[in-house]
Chains A and B, each alone.
Chain A
Amino acid sequence: MVKFTADELRRIMDYKHNIRNMSVIAHVDHGKSTLTDSLVAAAGIIAQEVAGDVRMTDTRADEAERGITIKSTGISLYYEMTDASLKSFKGERNGNEYLINLIDSPGHVDFSSEVTAALRITDGALVVVDCVEGVCVQTETVLRQALGERIRPVLTVNKMDRCFLELQVDGEEAYQTFQRVIENANVIMATYEDPLLGDVQVYPEKGTVAFSAGLHGWAFTLTNFAKMYASKFGVDESKMMERLWGENYFDPATKKWTSKNTGSPTCKRGFVQFCYEPIKQIISTCMNDQKDKLWPMLQKLGVTMKSDEKDLMGKPLMKRVMQTWLPASTALLEMMIFHLPSPSTAQKYRVENLYEGPLDDMYANAIRNCDPEGPLMLYVSKMIPASDKGRFFAFGRVFSGKVSTGLKVRIMGPNFVPGEKKDLYVKSVQRTVIWMGKKQETVEDVPCGNTVALVGLDQFITKNATLTNEKEVDAHPIRAMKFSVSPVVRVAVQCKVASDLPKLVEGLKRLAKSDPMVVCTIEESGEHIIAGAGELHLEICLKDLQEDFMGGAEIVKSDPVVSFRETVLEKSCRTVMSKSPNKHNRLYMEARPLEEGLAEAIDDGRIGPRDDPKARSKILSEEFGWDKDLAKKIWCFGPETTGPNMVVDMCKGVQYLNEIKDSVVAGFQWASKEGAVCEENMRGICFEVCDVVLHADAIHRGGGQVIPTARRVIYASQLTAKPRLMEPVYLVEIQAPEQALGGIYSVLNMKRGHVFEEMQRPGTPLYNIKAYLPVVESFGFSGTLRAQTSGQAFPQCVFDHWEMMSSDPLEPGTQAATIVADVRKRKGLKEQITPLSEFEDKL
């Protein structure tokens, strides 16, 4: 650890070329946090005053308990490069001191919003991949996210110790595994061709891939070995590096390099010969306690051990030796400093992604140049609960200018529109704070390129915001973040003591502020609902709510609730008609399911109310086989005017039809939000207005007559078109060894899941299973799975799609009918579905 005063730290923050902002991303359980810890242990900055306090990464109790990261944590590292190692560095620099702001993010899908927030404020990413498990679903997801944000990645193949101790594979096999891992990662990266970012693929021979053992605290890049051997072979370092990877073989017998394996028993791949084998040798010598052999070897490598360390035995000895020989911090930090961009480099190309306004205005230029003298542009990516209850730090990154204590800033919220006053505040920053370990230090100001926490703005920032100087009225905001997961799992909460309700309300507000992924709503019945990305996410939210945001007031939570959708299976069996309350107007309608994929297209925004009608009718006629004229007659989408249902006008020659359009649309918005079956949203239904009979006097065909009628006729047509429920379905990805497969299949069968892909990872005994699992059944799924496979399988669930339930909700006793009854009961509705006769009228 490095002891610093706030002033010293503040000094380095001015050297914008010597700063690296980076996040650590990976699949869950690939060893991010362990690796981060070893970096922190070596180079973490702590405040001078608390030097005695050794604990650095003060994790939450629940994180330690579960062994996973829940909240992303930011840590600053300090590293001083030697002149020798910097001589090949070509970028701009300012002395040898480097400041690395590192954000360790969670790997579990439920918390991927944390990753999104972390990526926004960093420029580079250390992608950690387990050398055995390889690139997993979450690795892929976060990597895509990172590249989308123009974050440059470097890779580390982690858990090398497993190769040597657990699997004991020989050099060539290990090489093949590593090669495959790197290739897989490169395949994903290659899909993001970005001329500004350049080649983002990683190459061991260029030093952008490290090999690490986070648990044992050692790591290396080929640079380390290349340096070692370059002088010995009398070749250039970069030349040596190339030889240490790929199709380069060395035969010690002939002392010759070849590009093919000559077949002689002594001929080995460069990597195996010069990197893998020596490590393996050292490790095995240590593990076997052959100290007489060990000391000379170490001496040759130039590694000196302290005397008390020499008494260690077995694994501790091995750890100690490896840490001394190949310290993880040196290898990884040097890789980051060499290959990840400084803020000033990164912002040159990131400005396009970041800034919403014209790219040639002064703000864009200030961001592009990372100009500390320019106007302030600061993006707040998350709100961190402060130690005094109820307050938050606004945590973010300064992209240009300086933010200082007492500065008056313009706060542009996510709904801000330039030129309007909506979602805009002007307030003073009370304090600017930087973290030194867990200690917050107030500093006078923070220049661009750094992360910062602001005090006193939490009332005016809801989730994220762009800050600029008070006077910069023509600045546009920085683009809002997009989150990749959606909250599908919900619980109803209420307080045990009724009078605690204000506390609960306040707590929910704070919870919503602290976590962008959580949605706190209220049901029609007056129950408070918390929606999260998954079971685990919800559990953490509830815990935070009760302990941190409600001061321990007791809450009662319901079982997890899943929202459903209502759809139809077929076209209505007949045209249904409803009469207005005054009996003078009649609406005739039919419902039919939307074409397959159309609802998804609407969800994705490919088709929507804001489209140009011509473009829309083109997509509809070409992809979904609609009649061109019909496509122009879409009245609206719903619910909320954008949902995946529509009303289409099929009438011919009806008088006054345009007059009631607004009323029908209003009735449709209402009805599609609360379907006839159990008042869930509708999905994938097209309502066709077949005929309309209207009273000749305008006063008798007003909204009051038509809106309720439109609602009734929509319900009637829904009920005559074989209504069905749709349930949300997770995509589950599980990695497990072969012997666990039986257990996985049986659990999935029990839970109505089905496997659609099973693939063995080449070179490993592991299988990759992809399955669909109804969200309703997913509660307790991961627990059951672990029990059934003795802890060998760990599922990752992400919401994938809505699936129609085949059973008829109108037929008593079916599964759908049971669900409908449950939902209706929860919502306080009559148990019986309102019969069709209530909605349909006869002539």
Chain B
Amino acid sequence: MDFESYYEIAPTADFIRSRSFTRVALQFPDELLKDSVRVVRALRDELQSLEYDTEGNGGDREVRFFVMADTTYGSCCVDEVGASHASAECVIHYGHTCLSPTSTLPAFFVFGKASINISRCADNISNYAWTNGKPIVVLFGLEYAHAMQDIKEALVVESSRLCGSRSRLELYCAEVMCSDMNPSGDDKTSNGHLGPVESCAADEGCGVATGARYSIGGLVWNLPAGHRLEEYILFWIGSDNSAFANVVLTFNGCDIVRYDATEKCLVTDLSQQRRILKRRYYLVEKAKDANIIGILVGTLGVAGYLRMIRLMKELIVGAGKKAYTLVMGKPNPAKLANFPECDVFIYVSCAQTALLDSKEFLAPVITPFEAMLAFNRGSEWTGAYMMEFRDLITSSLVEVKKQSGEARFSFLQGGYIEDVDLQEDVEKDEGGALALAYATERALQVRDKFPNFLIKGTAKSGAEFFATRSYQGLDMHSNNTLPEPYLIGRTGKASGYEDEKGKQENV
């Protein structure tokens, strides 16, 4: 595939020109960074040639490009903060994306074009669908969006060939929501070159479906009224990436089959993905036992993230727990372990980077949806799963329910346990002027009669956690006021200090 079409140079230039942007940020993921210079050059050439075509229209205007890489958060989201540093007016995003709505800048997405054998793909899908006899919905990775029109046609042909006149194969294809985006977060206004086409039901012609509308990760599709998605087989064209994991988790009640375009085969065994769901369930149960919760800000771009963070705080405080908000870029075990007082972290980010599950983390990292399950007494795990927090805000789960008095059952400890009583704090806050006095009073309580104990109680707040640490900072009680004797420090590099050289040779 030639470079110009892979990077959609012409439509991009069109987009920039039509909106007359002069400062444009180009956001590349790590694996495409090597092409960035060529892309900039190609874009500049293209824009210049466009200028010549429509001469006279302010020819002195120069478009400046800024290449952004190594984003602070997931590379699938638009890095608006990074773009703002360069005072860019829009962002052109390359590569895999989650198509999360932006909050301040317009964005144009270039998905890239992965190669796919269309006939082989259509063949596989229709054969599978035929043997199963269930209606199907075709979803795909955005890198295959370019081929979807062809695949759809091929499928219609293929299915009519297979079914003959006996029965019809019901087939629905998802559409890409849009390829450019305006910060309003309103996904219906934009109309890119792949913009919504009416959903196409095979054989029935193009009747406008009025049923339920589904959307996930930038894909949208409609199903006729009265049908549930569970009745369909979901086909996923693409690789086993986070977008797919998102689909599997969100539609965990459906049969899902993946067509791997590089291997050219169907993958029906999804036990690994199912296992993820159960694992998430475990994390929710674990989160219920948490006292201190860290809210990790995993995005500064996705629309509504501030609202989500506020919501999370309210939820946590409502559950009588303590929340701390942390901004640390991409979380990794070493960063999170700097906050050993947090029992669980909530990662507020776009749907496709939200699932962080590694045994390396000291404390589990859960999504806002899971946090709602965990900290809302009365809500229970039904199997339904939501990744995108836009859906979450609108869902009924949000309202903080009144707590029932019954002790909570902890599956981690295998018994009923008592949660921290939050009423106590509420009462004290009412004291107003006395609140400070109460606080100091509590601060001065004797916490531990025997500081030599090797265990400490579980802390309810960060301050309490620090109070129970064995190391409290510099020891000021030292009676020795004489200056310490002069000592020779270590020399050399961190990979092996001079005094360690000898050891190394011995090994």
Contacts and interface: CB of A to CB of B under 8 A. Distances in A.
Q: Is the A/B pair a real complex?
A: yes
Interface of A: 413, 415, 421-423, 425, 459-460, 462-463, 498-499, 501-502, 505, 508-509, 512-513, 519-528, 531, 580-584, 609-610, 612-613, 634-637, 641-642, 658-663, 666, 670, 674, 693, 695-696, 702-705, 707-708, 828, 842-843
A509 B409 contact: yes
Contacts of A666: 340, 362
A610 B360 CA distance: 30
Interface in B445-500: 450, 452-455, 469-471, 489-490, 494-497, 500
Contact of B500 (A413, A512, A580, A843): A843
Contacts of B455: 609-610, 636-637, 641-642
Nearest to A574: B507
A487 to B, nearest CB: 9
B381 A704 contact: no
Contact of A502 (B278, B382, B503): B382
B444 interface: no
Nearest to A458: B406
A499 B383 contact: yes
A695 B494 contact: yes
A634 B405 contact: no
B335 interface: yes
24 contacts: A415-B418, A423-B407, A425-B405, A460-B405, A460-B406, A460-B407, A501-B382, A502-B380, A512-B416, A522-B281, A526-B279, A527-B278, A583-B495, A637-B455, A666-B340, A674-B359, A695-B494, A696-B490, A703-B339, A704-B335, A704-B337, A705-B334, A708-B360, A708-B362
Contact of A521 (B277, B337, B411): B411
B280 interface: yes
Interface of B: 253, 275, 277-282, 285, 332-340, 359-360, 362, 380-383, 404-407, 409, 411-418, 421, 424, 450, 452-455, 469-471, 489-490, 494-497, 500, 503-504, 507
B392 to A, nearest CB: 20
A663 B470 contact: no
Nearest to B382: A502
Nearest to B381: A501
B384 to A, nearest CB: 10
B333 to A, nearest CB: 5
B278 A581 contact: no
A310 to B, nearest CB: 61
Contacts of A660: 471
Nearest to A702: B338
Contact of B416 (A513, A610, A637): A513
Contacts of B277: 526
Contacts of B362: 666, 670, 707-708
Contacts of B416: 462-463, 509, 512-513
A531 B383 contact: no
B410 to A, nearest CB: 9
B468 to A, nearest CB: 9
A635 B454 contact: yes
B282 A658 contact: no
B407 A662 contact: no
Contacts of B279: 524-526, 828
Given A505-B381, A524-B279, A609-B454, 8 more contacts: A421-B424, A422-B418, A513-B416, A520-B411, A674-B359, A696-B489, A703-B340, A843-B495
B406 A421 contact: no
B383 A498 contact: yes
A423 B157 CA distance: 68
A580 B360 CA distance: 13
B501 to A, nearest CB: 8
Chain B interface SS verdict (over half): loop
A528 B285 CA distance: 11
Nearest to B333: A708
A659 B474 CA distance: 9
A641 B454 contact: yes
A525 B418 contact: no
Given A525-B279, A693-B500, A634 B454 contact: yes
Contact of B407 (A413, A501, A581): A413
Nearest to B338: A704
B278 A525 contact: yes
A505 B497 CA distance: 56
Contacts of A422: 418, 421
B334 A828 contact: no
Given A704-B335, A705-B334, A828-B275, A499 B494 contact: no
Contacts of B406: 459-460
Which of B339, B414, B424 is most buried by chain A, counting CB atoms within 10 A of its CB? B414
A520 B412 CA distance: 8
A337 to B, nearest CB: 40
A466 to B, nearest CB: 15
B490 to A, nearest CB: 8
A674 B285 CA distance: 18
A776 B281 CA distance: 28
A788 B299 CA distance: 67
Which among A526, A528, A583, A708 has the highest number of chain B CB atoms within 10 Å? A526
Contact of B415 (A462, A702, A705, A707): A462
B334 A662 contact: no
Contacts of A842: 507
B452 A613 contact: yes
A279 to B, nearest CB: 52
Given A499-B382, A659-B471, A413 B453 contact: no
Contacts of A501: 381-383
Contacts of A663: 337, 340
The 6 closest A-B pairs by CB, nearest first: A526-B278, A462-B416, A704-B338, A609-B454, A519-B414, A641-B455
Nearest to A635: B454
A462 B407 CA distance: 7
B414 A531 contact: yes
Nearest to B487: A655
Contact of A637 (B360, B382, B454, B504): B454
A528 B411 contact: yes
Contact of B418 (A413, A522, A584, A637): A413
B334 A581 contact: yes
Nearest to A518: B414
Contacts of B281: 522, 526
B282 A502 contact: no
A460 B404 CA distance: 10
A666 B338 CA distance: 11
Contacts of A584: 494
A661 B469 CA distance: 9
Contacts of B421: 421-422
A61 to B, nearest CB: 28
Contacts of A513: 416
Nearest to A528: B411
Given A460-B407, A513-B416, A610-B453, A525 B470 contact: no
Contacts of B453: 609-610
Contacts of B415: 462-463, 512, 519
Contacts of A499: 382-383
B487 to A, nearest CB: 9
B278 A708 contact: no
A708 B359 CA distance: 11
Nearest to B494: A584
A765 B406 CA distance: 56
A427 to B, nearest CB: 8
Contact of B338 (A459, A658, A674, A703): A703
B403 to A, nearest CB: 13
Nearest to B500: A843
Contacts of A524: 279, 282
Given A525-B282, A531-B414, A661 B405 contact: no
Nearest to B424: A421
Contacts of A695: 494
Nearest to B384: A499
B505 to A, nearest CB: 10
Given A421-B424, A662-B471, A703-B338, A843 B494 contact: no
